């Protein structure tokens, strides 16, 4: 990523956060909690112009413009609402899981082979 791209990304983030700060207080509170949750869960496409967080702000701006409370927009189960936002989206956990599985499988294979070699040596046999 070039320095220009980093500055552009930072500029976009600041503009995004300015939109959040313009929301009514109840929307800001719920937005921050959903944002924290999403940062922990780690959807891959969380930031940028066409991102989940931008879509969330769009939805909240529409709800506020319609003079709805934030819970009328999200429902009373905000956690379920947040889960619904990322349903079917790739997460960093999804990206790392296959690699972790492969590392565990290889480590287990090496461990089993070492144990097998030890058992052969105890029996006085040698296997290459």
Let me know whether 76 and 99 are in one domain: no
Residues 75 and 50 in one domain: yes
Pair of tokens at residue 82: 């947040």
The pLDDT confidence band at residue 92, using thresholds 50, 70 and 90, is low
pLDDT tens digit sequence for 56-85: 999 999 999 999 999 999 999 999 999 898
Q: Are residues 7 and 67 in the same domain?
A: yes
Are 41 and 85 contained in the same domain? Answer: yes
- Who has greater pLDDT, 94 or 54? 54
Output the pTM of the full model.
Answer: 0.66
Q: Is residue 98 predicted with pLDDT exceeding 80?
A: no
Instruction: Identify the pLDDT of residue 118.
Output: 80
Segments forming the whole domain that contains residue 73: 3-90
For residues 44 and 71, membership in a common domain is answered with: yes
What is the number of structural domains in the chain? Answer: 2
Q: How far is residue 82 from each of residues 35, 52, 75, measured CA to CA in Å?
A: 9, 10, 10
């Amino acid at each position: 990523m070039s320095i220009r791209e980093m500055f552009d990304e930072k500029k976009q983030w600041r503009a995004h956060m300015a939109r959040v700060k313009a929301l009514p207080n109840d929307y800001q509170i719920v937005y921050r909690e959903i944002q924290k949750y999403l940062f922990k869960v780690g959807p891959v496409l969380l930031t940028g112009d066409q991102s989940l967080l931008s879509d969330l702000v769009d939805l909240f701006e529409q709800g506020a413009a319609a003079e709805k409370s934030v819970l009328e927009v999200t429902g009373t189960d905000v956690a379920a609402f947040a889960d619904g936002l990322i349903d079917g989206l790739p997460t960093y956990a999804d990206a790392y899981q296959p690699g972790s599985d492969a590392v565990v499988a290889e480590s287990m294979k090496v461990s089993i082979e070492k144990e097998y070699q030890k058992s052969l040596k105890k029996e006085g046999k040698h296997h290459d």
